[in-house]
Structure 1
Amino acid sequence: FSFLCGALIIDIEIFLRGNMDSYQHSYSPASQYLQDDQDSDDRSTTRVNESRQNLSGMMSRSTQRWITALALFSLLSVAVVVRIYTRDDRSSTSSSAKKHKYNDDSSDNRSKLFDQFGRFIVEDFDVKPTFSDFLPGVAGIYGKPNWAFYVNRGQGIASFGTLSKDYPIMEFNSANKAYQLTSLVGFRTFLTGYRGKNRDKCFMTEPFSPDSSRFDLQSEEATKESSTFRRFVTGESKASASKLPKREMYVGKSDMEINEIDYSNNIETSILYFSLAEEYFSSLVRLTSIKNIDNSDALTVSALDGLAKMEPDGGQLNNLLKNMGRTLEGWMSVSHGDNGTSTTMPFYKMSTEPADSASVHVEEGGHYCLSYIEDDPLHLLPIVYDTDLVFGQDTTLLKPRGLMASSVKAMIEGRQYGDAKTSSCFAAIDDFVLAPGEKVTIVSFYGKAENISEVPRIATTIASEWYAERKLHASRSIIESITDEVETNTSNALFDGHVKQMFLDNSLRGGVPLILGDIEKNMELNSVDEDPRLKVYHTFSRIHGDLERDYNDFVIEPTYFSQGPGNFRDVLQNRRNDVIFQPRVASFDVKLFLSFIQADGYNPLTVEAIVFLVNNSTIADELATRFVGNATGVRAQRDALFHVLDSGPIRPGQLFALMEDQHIVINVSKEEFINEIAAASRYEPLGLFDAGFWADHWTYYLDLIDAYLSIYPDGEEYLMFDVRLPYFYSPASVRPRCEKYVLSL
């Protein structure tokens, strides 16, 4: 290509010079005129000579410009060709190999902060300063949530479970320990394989391993000539250091994803986490995609993908795991949901509840793990739960010594032991062939079931095409439906996203208000002050406990209409604008929080969700008959529902949970059912003394009143003089000053 460009330049130069000679020859009459007329004016001679020189110089400069331009064009063309061939050779760095493309800023060539899903991008996340975060724990109104925390180390998830940190599936650790342990005891992926037909050239790698993190490449000190890195890493080792995997984290409002491009093995690994939405069971969903980004050779890969340590279900285990973990292992076991015919439905449970008491409580519930390949959801993958098979005698869990001495196939076909020890949970695939550009996705579900008999039913539910993709979309839609209340469009997209995120955070602490009791069309325009059948119920609220604020004992009920208790101040300050976004709430929050004031002016520490009370037994019987039916065959269900409604205070989530336990089937939709129950009930607020009194939040009351009056300015007289409020009667009280203080000498 360079030779052709050079030949073209020479031809053009010859052509231009020939034209210039002809051009100069066309002025020969002037030259002849100068020779014949020696007596002509010297000025005329000078002008003609200057004209010839100017013309010659002009043509010479023009030729030089053409030659220079064509030479630069030739060099540029050569550079483009070299770049194309280099790009083909390093297919792992091509944009087609990346799942998420960066949107480059043309002005300064810097990567943008967010991807196409609005998720924050953290490049080389595992070598950046540590931070912790959490999935929102929102599964929709008719879903059962779990909790999950993650950090920017290892494969992200640091702990998760149900209800509270006392019921972990992966043990809860404070932030400082989570940063250290996540890459060891958390989710891990081990890959073995070979290229083409070269079985003799096998490799083993662990995506997102800290052994291949870019610590030295990120350090400014490492670039100094005097640094230890410069003195130690030289030659080939320095070149290999520059080929360390490229890693990114995508932090979304409802999900989190990590991505790694392994330049050495031409493998791209992506892992996505989200909470399952709108289902009768709770689950953390994990999608692990392994892609062959080599342009020429097929990849035959075997993989172990899952948790290095999975805790069983068996009561409140958080403190026991930390204080007597070795003793606790004596109760641990792994059962199988398919009666032991395979290892595709492991069930992690305690044999009995570990307690020093005369009575023995046999544990029925357990934790499950179900996995399949996304393109083949009907066939569950085998689970390797025997930790010794994977790690051998390496109790540090640094390396999969067992796998290094064996194979995935041998583990699948061999015997496993899961009793009296902490087990693992690895989905296994063996000799899966990936053509260039092809990928395989392992879909895994981790959750809790109340009985081992529920596991096959859950497996049937998730075994449908694109189930995980649909649920991911549902999870994102639920969060968007919350933040749509503050949809903001300005010239600053970062500000718009900040507004949504802050509203989501406040909603998770104060709760999202729902209006229940809409049983007639003409009620949709009424507020709760105008129609006593309407009730306000807050969902998705919880106390702000996380890895950093480990002193708070959060609770997220794994029920429909999920919520948890919160501190008085936190709940109150995050409900101050409820009436602005939901005018039908009216004065509900004002009356609720003013009713928590004690006679001495103090208020309790903890606020819980309101409860519903069906007014009398006759109404409860009418509701049970209406929603179950009057047939003889459903008498047991009708009686059971009657006793549930007539037994005292109950919340919507508890109501549906009891109906599931007693196999009560209703003949209307869940929405119609709960609206009718709410309309026929009265509500009662609930507060707890818990650990003390507060009396410094009176300004929040004023904020509540101001917000109400901004929407209902004509309701001031009604609110101040027409509403009767009860006092909160606490089991504890503050002693008068005369009893607390005495004079001393």
Structure 2
Amino acid sequence: MYKLLEDGRFKIEDFQAASPFASFLPGISGTDGIPLWAFYVNRGQGMASFGVENKDNAMLEFLPANKAYQYVGTQGFRTFLKGTRSEERFQYEPFNEESDVIQDEMIISDNHLELKHTHKHLGIEMTVVYYTLPHQAIPGLVREVTFKNLRDEPISIEGVDGLASMFPAHVDDAGYKSISNTFKSWFDASVEQDQFAYYFLRGSTADDAKVDQNDEGNFYVSLMQTENKEEFMTPVFDRDVIFGNDLTLLTPKAFYGQDALDTTKQIGTNKVSAAFTPFDIDLKGHGAMTLTSVFGQTTDREKAADFIQQHITAKKLSEYKTSAMELAKAFTSRVETKTANKAFDEYVKQNYLDNGIRGGFPVVFENDQAKQVFYLYSRKHGDLERDYNFFSISPEYYSQGNGNYRDMNQNRRLDTFFEPKVADRNLRQFMSLIQLDGYNPLSIKTVKYTLEDDSFDFTGFGFSKEQADNWLEKSKDGYTPGSLKKFVEEEDITLTESFEAFLTDVLSASKEALEADHGEGFWSDHWTYNLDLIDSYLAIYPDKADDAYFGGGYRFFNSPASVRPLSEKLKQGKLGWRQYDAVHEDEEKMAAHKKGEHMWIETDTDGKPVETSLFSKLILLAANKVSTLAPFGLGVEMEGGKPGWNDAMNGLPGMFGAGTSELFELKRLVDRLSDVDNKQRIALPVEASEFLLHLRDVLRDIDTLDLDAWKALTEVRESYRASIAGKNSFKLVTCTEDMAAEVISLFKEVMEKAVDNVEGLDTEIIPTYIYFEATVKEGEITEMQPHPVTPFLEGVVKKMKISGDTTEARELYGKVKASDLYDKKLGMYKTSASINDEPIELGRAKFFTPGWLENESVFLHMAYKYLLELVKVGLYDEFYEEIKTGLVVFNDPKVYGRSILENSSFIASSANPDESLHGKGFVARLSGSTVEFLNMWVEMFIGKAPFTMEDALTFKLEPVLPADFFSDRKITFTLFSEIEVTYINDTSKATYGEDRVKPNAYTVELKSGETETFDANGVTGEWAEKIRNKEVKAITVALD
């Protein structure tokens, strides 16, 4: 039923009988194209919903996965056929009937979805290919349908093909779902020029005083191509013409019951329309006919007509089909890998694609003056299974989307490995969003740019003076690359150079205007992912470590929200004392943010954003987190109203919950600060500097982390927060190197105590979560009783991150495998052991079925984090044994229930009461697991840090590859998105273990053709820089 094809596509035979799943086309249309989102399922004819930007602009209504499975066969794409074969009459609906003579299959590729239907008795083959329009000024979905006669004798076919439910543009999703019967009163449709149908709302639907007429609409056009001609077909938008009085849309009564369709009296008002094309063909023996339909959106009918005349031809549609696939391959080729395992190689590419469409793909615009890094396609994950998220894909050139801090931060972790020119851009962005209190905003908006001043000479690039003035006025509040391109097109400006070169020049004279929103609450884990960004940067730029830590340019996000003091959060609950209503929102600051004011804390002298060094920010971050140590040092408090990585533990913050994961990450941060050779003063706002001094005094007096110590830390933290509350402007002061060194030393001491206390708990496996039972007398907490929660995998992962050696890590690995965290049936690691005996207040995870979502399922992101730590800590044999069942690419697709090239958010574990679900993946693709796997790929093929500073910059590879990965004694992979690296292994041994082989010689070939050979010590000096600068074409590495 499931098969990986030689060309990397994945085929599912009899797909409608297979386990149901939902997925999507990637929504990439090129820098010069407008994207469209498209979600599909393995039911009906696949495509379940598609549209522009978000759910409020669907062409085919957005439905959550459970409803999409149910309705795609009626509301989605349909084909009805009737005709004659050798005097035998037939009528039926392909993809909607089961028979021994019918065979259906689905083929999934990077940017296409293909369906194939074969009716062996009638000798009819029907193929359907979906893809989104590439490189076009309008968003569109293309559906290419080919009917083929499989026999020698001719066949006559009369049919209709199309969409049973087609929306006008901009139908409010929630509104329609609530009052769809009323909403259809605005709906209208018409046939234009006998060529295309146009679907529109006659006016605004909001109950406002301001009422507008609406011209924007969706269009539908079909082109029929036979052996010797191509022609536009007149569409049918009134589905009554097809279905008659069958409102269930199950049977096309009018089409089956009449000799000819009556299309002369179509009604397009006050109803949901359709988008069908009728056809009548005689196919000779082995003849074929192709019907290609395009569903698009334009601002008016005239633009739709112009687009159709210029772009809808058989030749151009064929080019678009090829181009759509090439768009995806342009990204996946960046991690081209060739091992002895074809499935693994394809899995690498799919992970890179999916990682990029969540975190974005970096594009570098650079000239002699400046460099800007822009992210294409990034978006907040949202699809048929993630129906809770309101995704947004900007409908403009150089498309980008919104996202969450944690998601984007994690998915961009390795970008310096794929594009070294990204350098410290992400580190600066995400660390600048860290606030004075150590928290950060939740939502990151699309990036805009503002010109440094009005002196940029647009007239020198082809603008008239009037056009230049208009653009400066239009862009004064910020512009995007897409809005600039749109302006150039709308004004019909003939540039003096390519648009990309022009954009580079404009961006070099601009500054990035990063925008973010507080969103809701403060998660306890968000800050931790910045440590990985530091690791990735220094792995490529070890020679710039001093500048990274002590160079300037790091800001502080000025949040309109803050954490309330404990006294304001403390509440008497039914089951004891709790802390609720953790966050206070400053209305004055909220209003300022809406106007784009005071986004960053400012200096008290000139009102410009305060800027300091990374090292200064890291010390303040560590201070904030040390001051939020839980009682007895048993974790870092979830005092901001939100938990850590596991959102479904949403009740823990109210239970005085704490996380050891963040504790171990805090130790990692403090150890890093301790390792840095601090040669410069730190610069912080005066209130932050005083906070450090007061915290230092508290830490000096702490011998044991008892309740008094916790109260002292709480007091100094809350005093600091009170001193910065409501302020926008601050005075910057410096602290001496000696003071910083002492503070870091005290941090290190207290962290050792805290970790020792956690490790001293009477638990077999280190707990991830601990909550506290508070005793309160006269409004003051007098006792805190800790309660470790059943083991979760996250704490183990973080503990392994700071493991001192492989012996300690191997012992921990053995304990975990022997515990209930390991699913013996699946050979995978669950998010947690059973939480059945835990209090219901932990969070919504308690109410999920065991083995489902965050309740004891295999959450792939965390399971992959664990596998990654195995290889990072040096447990290579264990790692390669675990990935045989732990990576979905090596799973049985019959069990996994979808393409083994695509990750899921979670896999139902054997704890689930429904055995039929065990091992099946749910919630497609856009998961943090993609970057965890790519990190494994880096560890396996490259090593932790390909560049080091010895006597000079040195490039050295440290692969960790098993013998059976080599094909014909070699492995090839792509470094930095374009350098082909080949390992030659004449001994056919693994590159790890006692009898390992390792790099013995490097042959480096420049793009100019020049070559140079280096010994086992690596590539040094200017040649190492040439590799980092991507001046190199290929590297051949001899293993011995």
1:96-125 CA-to-partner distances (Å, cap 9, x unmatched) read: xxxxxxxxxxxxxxx882335421000100
Aligned to 1:601: 438
Amino acid at match of 1:480: K
The residue type paired with residue 521 of structure 2 is G
Deviations 1:355-391 (A, max 9, x none): 1112211111000011101357863111011111100
Amino acid at match of 1:277: P
Report what 2:141 is aligned to: 284
How do 1:84-123 and structure 2 match up within 5 A?
Answer: 113-123=3-13
Match of 1:257 among 91, 102, 114: 114
Distance 1:358 1:261 in 2: 56
Q: Does 1:365 align with 2:177?
A: no
Q: Structure 1 residues 497, 611: closer, same or farther in 2, change over 3 A? A: same
- Deviation track 1:150-177 (CA, whole Å, cap 9, x = no partner) reads 0000000010000001110000000100
Which residue in the other structure is 1:137 paired with? Answer: 27
Secondary structure in structure 1 of the residue aligned to 2:447: strand
| TM-score, normalised with respect to structure 2 | 0.54
Name which of 713, 717, 720 aligns with 2:542: 713
Q: Which position in structure 1 is the counterpart of 2:484?
A: 655
Helix, strand or coil at the partner of 1:474: helix
Matches within 5 A, 1:306-345: 306-313=162-169, 315-338=170-193, 342=194, 344-345=195-196
Instruction: Report how far residue 658 of structure 1 moved.
Output: 4.0
Alpha-carbon offset, residue 316 of structure 1: 4.6
Of residues 230, 241, 251 in structure 2, which corresponds to 1:399? 251
Q: Does 1:421 align with 2:271?
A: yes
**Distance of aligned partners of 1:377 and 1:485 in 2 relative to their CA distance in 1, 3 Å threshold:** farther
Q: Distance in 2 between matches of 1:322 and 1:463?
A: 34
| Contact 1:517/1:674 (<8 A) preserved | no
- How far, CA to CA, are the matches of 1:744 and 1:419 in structure 2? 69
Q: Secondary structure at the match of 1:273?
A: strand
Q: CA deviation at 1:397?
A: 0.5
- 1:689 corresponds, among 518, 525, 537, to 518
- What amino acid sits opposite 1:312 in the alignment? P
Contact 2:82–2:256 (8 Å) recurs in 1: no
Q: Which residue, 340, 343, 347 being the options, matches 1:494?
A: 343
CA RMSD, 1 decimal:
1.9
What CA distance in whole angstroms lies between the structure 2 residues aligned with 1:712 and 1:441?
Answer: 54
SS at match of 1:594: helix
Amino acid at match of 2:501: E
Question: Which region of structure 1 is more displaced relative to structure 2, 680-689 or 595-604?
Answer: 680-689
Question: 1:513, CA displacement in angstroms?
Answer: 0.4
Amino acid at match of 1:309: S
1:579-728 map, 5 Å: 579-619=416-456, 622-623=457-458, 625-630=459-464, 636-645=466-475, 647-728=476-557
Aligned mates of 1:602, 1:638 — CA distance in 2: 41
Counterpart secondary structure, 1:546: coil
Of the candidates 433, 437, 450, which is equivalent to residue 286 of structure 2? 437
- Paired letter, 1:576: R
Alpha-carbon separation, structure 1, partners of 2:130 and 2:332 = 20
Contact (CA 8 Å) 2:40, 2:48: kept in 1 or not? yes
Quote the residue 1:27 is aligned against. none
Of Structure 1 and Structure 2, the greater helix share is in 1
8 Å Cα contact 1:329-1:422 kept in structure 2: yes
CA distance in 1, matches of 2:560, 2:502: 36
Query: Does structure 2 retain, via aligned residues, the 8 Å contact 1:371–1:381?
Result: yes
- 8 Å CA contact 1:537–1:609 kept in 2: the answer is no
Q: Which residue of 2 aligns with 1:246?
A: 103
Given the alignment of the two structures, is residue 385 of structure 1 paired with residue 243 of structure 2, yes or no? Answer: no
3-state SS of the aligned residue for 1:454?
helix
8 Å contact 1:377–1:463 — kept in the other structure?
Answer: no
Structure 1 residue aligned with 2:558, among 698, 707, 729? Answer: 729
State the shift of 1:741 in Å.
2.7
Q: Is the 1:628–1:638 contact (alpha carbons within 8 Å) kept by the matching residues of 2?
A: no
Amino acid at match of 1:136: P
What is aligned with 1:189?
79
Separation in structure 1 between the aligned mates of residue 191 and residue 468 of structure 2, nearest angstrom: 35
1:644–1:655 Cα contact (<8 Å) kept: no
Contact 1:628 1:637 (8 Å CA) reproduced: no
Cα distance in structure 1, aligned partners of 2:76 and 2:473: 44
Q: Distance in 1 between matches of 2:191 and 2:202?
A: 14
C-alpha distance after superposition, 1:665-688 (max 9, x if no partner)? 544322122111111111122211
Given candidates 342, 346, 355, the residue that maps to 1:506 is 355
Q: What is the alpha-carbon distance in structure 2 between the residues aligned to residue 153 and residue 461 of structure 1?
A: 34
Distance 2:201 2:322 in 1: 35
**CA contact under 8 A between 1:640 and 1:664: conserved in structure 2?**
no
- After TM superposition, the structure 1 = structure 2 runs for residues 195-206 of structure 1, keeping only pairs within 5 Å, are 195=85, 198=87, 201-206=88-93
Maintained 8 Å contact 2:4/2:343: no
User: Does structure 1 conserve the Cα–Cα contact (< 8 Å) formed by 2:24 and 2:40?
Assistant: yes
Q: 1:284 to 1:377 in 2, by over 3 A?
A: farther
Q: Are residues 640 and 668 of structure 1, via their aligned partners in 2, closer, same or farther at CA, if it must alter by over 3 Å?
A: farther
Instruction: Note if contact 2:223-2:313 (Cα within 8 Å) is conserved in structure 1.
Output: no
- Secondary structure in 1 aligned to 2:339? coil
Match of 1:153 among 18, 21, 43: 43
| 1:377 to 1:654, Cα distance in 2 relative to 1, 3 A | farther
Provide the residue aligned with 2:911 in structure 1.
Answer: none
Shift of 1:580: 1.1
Confirm or deny: 8 A CA contact 1:641 1:659 kept in the other structure.
no
Aligned residue for 1:356?
207
Give distance in 2, aligned partners of 1:575 and 1:492: 27
Counterpart CA distance in 2 for 1:181 and 1:593 is: 42
For 1:554, give the aligned amino acid.
Answer: F
Name the CA shift for 1:359/1:610 in 2 (closer, same or farther; >3 Å): closer
**TM-score normalised over the length of structure 1:** 0.74
In 2, the alpha carbon distance for the partners of 1:610 and 1:693 equals 22
Match of 2:403 among 566, 578, 586: 566
Q: 2: distance between equivalents of 1:290 and 1:305? A: 11
CA contact (8 A) 1:544 1:552 kept: yes
Question: Higher strand proportion, which one?
Answer: 2
Distance 2:7 2:461 in 1: 42
Amino acid at match of 2:216: G
Name which of structure 1's ranges 373-382 and 186-195 shifts more when overlaid on structure 2: 373-382
1:168 pairs with one of 58, 65, 84:
58
Map of 2:995 onto structure 1: none
Question: Comparing both chains, which one has the higher relative contact order based on Cα–Cα distances under 8 Å and sequence gaps of 6 or more?
Answer: 1
In 2, the alpha carbon distance for the partners of 1:118 and 1:332 equals 43
Corresponding pairs, count: 573
2:95 paired residue number? 208
Partners of 1:337 and 1:628 in 2: CA distance? 37
8 A Cα contact 2:55 2:390, kept in partner: yes
Letter in 1 for 2:65: A
Instruction: Report the AA paired with residue 189 of structure 2.
Output: V
Q: Residue 568 of structure 2 corresponds to which residue in structure 1?
A: 739
- Structure 2 Cα separation of the partners of residues 684 and 651 of structure 1: 10
1:555 Cα shift? Answer: 0.5
Q: Is the 8 A contact 1:377 1:464 kept in 2?
A: no
Residue 604 of structure 1 contacts residue 694 of structure 1 at CA under 8 Å; is this kept in 2? Answer: no
Q: Is the 8 A contact 1:294 1:437 kept in 2?
A: yes
Q: CA deviation at 1:660?
A: 4.2
Identical counterparts, % of pairs: 35
Cα distance 1:129–1:112, how it changes in 2: closer, same or farther (>3 A)? closer
| Equivalent AA in structure 2 for residue 418 of structure 1 | G
